[in-house]
Structure 1
Amino acid sequence: MPAQLLSGRPVADAVFAEIRPRIAALREAGHPVGLGTLLVGSDDASAGYIRMKIDKAEELGMTAPHIHLGDDASQAEVEDAVRALNEDPEVTGVLVQHPTPPQIDFEAAMLRVDPDKDVDGLHPVNMGRLALGMPGMVACTPAGIERLLAHHGIEVSGRDVCILGRGTTLGRPLALLLSQKRPTANAAVTVVHTGVPDWAEHTRRADIVIAAVGVPGIVRPEHVRPGAVVVSGGVRYAGRRLLPDVDESVAEVAGAITPRIGGVGPTTIAMLFKNCVDAAERLAAGGA
């Protein structure tokens, strides 16, 4: 029996359908909803990602202020640009595109982002809120994975979830998210990484395996038990070709699996815009 494909596209469509009327209601009440983006340098891929996000923001009825600094921009210029987006009343979400040129300290620039406008959900304040179970921005890829599993009817509560990868953008926040007491979470979560020699001993025991290391093809059929749910969250690019952590042959043994293209990616983008709308509603409530 072929594995169930966990496509992210219908999940993203559902999120966008949910936030469109919320955007319209905010605008009708005179409250801004805007994604402010900052691009530093001339990386073609980064420019393409920013263009896509601006186009989507405008299609959703949001404003999309954008600042583009050159390859020779200084740290002070970058941080001034972040400050300008923070202070722009039309901006409810701020996104600093990664990577930045080598002279720029990206983490230092991210620290300048207003946590209440941090649509990536990666500011230390928001990571702390997540750890404490407080309301706030949640990192987009982890939030998208939780939504993906729920959309496709994958039971998470009470099940063994093994996350391969401990990075701050995916593995670590995802572990916090899926262990929280919530119908779409509430799992027994194990986090392993490539520094654990026998990491496959853990993934083979799991009901749900989520790969989050950015090592193409690291998860193979022998690393998961038959019938397990397998999600490929980490990716690398070889030119324009997307290479996921999970080898496509895993579909031969998995009960459900994300496709190579159109899996977690669309949900990540959708949750970024949801974060932006959530922030707009909190700002509107605070200003009332």
Structure 2
Amino acid sequence: MQTKVEKILDGNFLKKQILNELNKEVDDLYTQFNKRPGLAVILVGHNAASKVYVGKKKQACELVGIKSYEYLLPDNIEEDELIELIKSLNKDDKINGILLQLPLPRHLEEQKLLHLIDPKKDVDGFHPENVGKLLLGLDTFKSCTPYGIVTLLDFFNIDTEGKHVVIVGRSNIVGKPLAAMLVQRSNPGNATVTICHSKSKNLSEITKQADILIAAIGQPNFIKQDMVKPETVIIDVGINRVEDPLEKGKYKLVGDVDFKDVFDKSSQITPVPGGVGALTIAMLMKNTIQAFKELNKL
């Protein structure tokens, strides 16, 4: 019988291991070529969650040895001004990766701006060229959260071949690219993938078919134990800020899965925090180093 610790898929542990390996790689690159990868992060406005994410990305850059360039812009910035910044970063040789922090203020056209980023510097994997390559199974930048999920599955030896993977959520950031990765002829991959969403009928009947259930819908504690079959691997992508019932006026982070409710039924499960979210930033660092090597033809 598994202990509680054995059931938990510890993303923090894996993140530390990956960042240590990347730090050694960056040091070796600097020793050989006297250059370090550079990551530009553009933050528009004062979204509190976005500020936290940008801060964590900066910390990861420092740990790995990547140069971090932050562009903190007012929420009333004109779109033309932001377009000019992206174009200038595309041409800047010291910048290898460009990340436009989402969400953007409503007056800015998200897809238009993401499409302007040079595909060779698109370390978030959102440019149509990179999305197309991903669908075709070609080597390209992978969206960071799905990349983190498949890395976690691989590290913990969770076999996906022939398994039924149910993804609850169809976003361009997680659901769609993750499905594309898991159907590839690769490991992890070769899975039978079902994507569910807000219009799916009899959702619990579908989720109960999953060998591996991935929740990415942005609804706190949505997945309950009556929605999963025994011995399911559960990957919780959600990060939701909710009021803490034990401490008045304080908040805590929870996932899209009711962790306590489903824990005994799962074979393995990711916690929130400390699961998938920890790996998203690690994969961003990995993509930035990949961009540096490709742009410098190393």
Q: Which residue of 2 aligns with 1:247?
A: 258
Question: Any conservation in 2 of the 1:32–1:91 contact (CA below 8 Å)?
Answer: no
Aligned to 1:142: 146
Q: What does the per-residue CA deviation read over 1:188-222, in whole Å, with 9 as the maximum and x for residues that have no partner?
A: 11112221111222211111111111111221101
Structure 1 residue identity aligned to 2:127: H
Q: In the aligned structure 2, how far is the partner of 1:55 from the partner of 1:261?
A: 17
1:267 aligns with 2:276: no
Q: Percent identity, please.
A: 35
> Residues 223-242 of structure 1 correspond to what in structure 2 (within 5 A)?
223-238=227-242, 240-242=251-253
- 1:281 counterpart residue number: 293
RMSD: 1.6
1 CA distance for matches of 2:97 and 2:252? 30
Preserved contact between residue 129 and residue 136 of structure 1 (Cα < 8 Å): yes
Partner in structure 2 of residue 81 of structure 1: 85
* Worse-matched range after superposition: 101-110 or 42-51: 42-51
Task: Report the residue type matching 1:244 in the other structure.
Answer: G
Query: Does residue 1:11 correspond to 2:14, yes or no?
Result: yes
Q: CA shift at 1:34, angstroms?
A: 0.9
**2: CA distance, partners of 1:58 / 1:256:** 32
2:216 matched to 1:204?
no
Q: Which moved more, 1:42-51 or 1:204-213?
A: 42-51
Matched, 1:160 2:164: yes
Alignment-derived partner of residue 155 in structure 2: 151
Distance 2:293 2:125 in 1: 16
Higher mean alpha-carbon deviation, 252-261 vs 20-29, is at 20-29
Which of 270, 273, 279 aligns to 1:258? It is 270
Rounded to whole Å, the distance in 1 between the matches of 2:49 and 2:213 is: 29
Report the CA distance between 1:260 and its aligned residue: 2.2
User: What is the CA-CA distance between 1:51 and the residue it aligns to?
Assistant: 2.3
Give distance in 1, aligned partners of 2:52 and 2:198: 31
| SS in structure 2 at match of 1:241 | strand
**CA shift for structure 1 position 110:** 0.9
Q: What is the Cα deviation at residue 37 of structure 1?
A: 0.9
Q: 1:108 & 1:271 partners in 2: Cα distance? A: 24
8 Å contact from structure 2 (residues 167, 196) kept in 1:
yes
Deviation, 1:98, is: 1.3
Question: Residue 162 of structure 1: CA displacement?
Answer: 0.9
Question: Please, which moves more after superposition, 187-196 or 259-268?
Answer: 187-196
CA deviation after TM superposition for structure 1 residue 42, in Å: 2.3
Runs (5+) with no aligned partner, structure 1: none
How many aligned residue pairs are there? 286
Deviation of 1:223 (Å):
0.6
**Whole-angstrom distance in 2 between the partners of 1:234 and 1:154:** 20
Q: Deviations over 1:112-149 (max 9, x none)?
A: 11111111111111110100111110001101011111
